[in-house]
Amino acid sequence: MAKAKANDWAPKVLALLKGGNAPAAIAQIKVAPSVKDLKQLGDAVAAAGLVGRWRDVDAAIEDNIAALSAPRLHRSP
């Protein structure tokens, strides 16, 4: 399976949301490549007027931005 470019990630997840597949979008949000990509997705969702339509999607975006932004407490050896 080919890896998507980082800048293609947000539009693809937005397409999942527009298609009504929120569970698949949440699964992608949980494995987001970077905070930058999550912020791009958040901006795209806001621009499309979809903020608040799926509370679990909004929460997943916020939670994963926080998780990826936080310093790691433990590094595996």
Residue 35 domain flag: yes
The verdict on residue 55 lying in a domain is: yes
Task: Write out the two tokens for 16.
Answer: 């999942």
50 belongs to a structural domain: yes
In a domain, 74, yes or no: no
Determine, yes or no, domain membership for 22: yes
Residue 13 belongs to a domain: yes
How confident is the prediction along the chain (77 residues), in pLDDT tens digits per residue? Answer: 556 554 799 999 999 999 999 999 999 999 999 999 999 999 999 999 988 899 999 999 999 999 988 876 665 55
Predicted pLDDT at 7: 72
| DSSP letter assigned to residue 2 | P
Task: Please give the pLDDT value at position 39.
Answer: 95
Q: E-strand spans in 5-74?
A: none
Check residue 3 and give its pLDDT.
60
Please tell me the total count of domains within the chain: 1
- Predicted local distance difference test score (pLDDT) of residue 71: 78
Is 73 within the bounds of a domain?
no
Range of the domain at 64: 7-68
The three-state secondary structure class of 44 is helix
Residue 2 lies in a domain: no
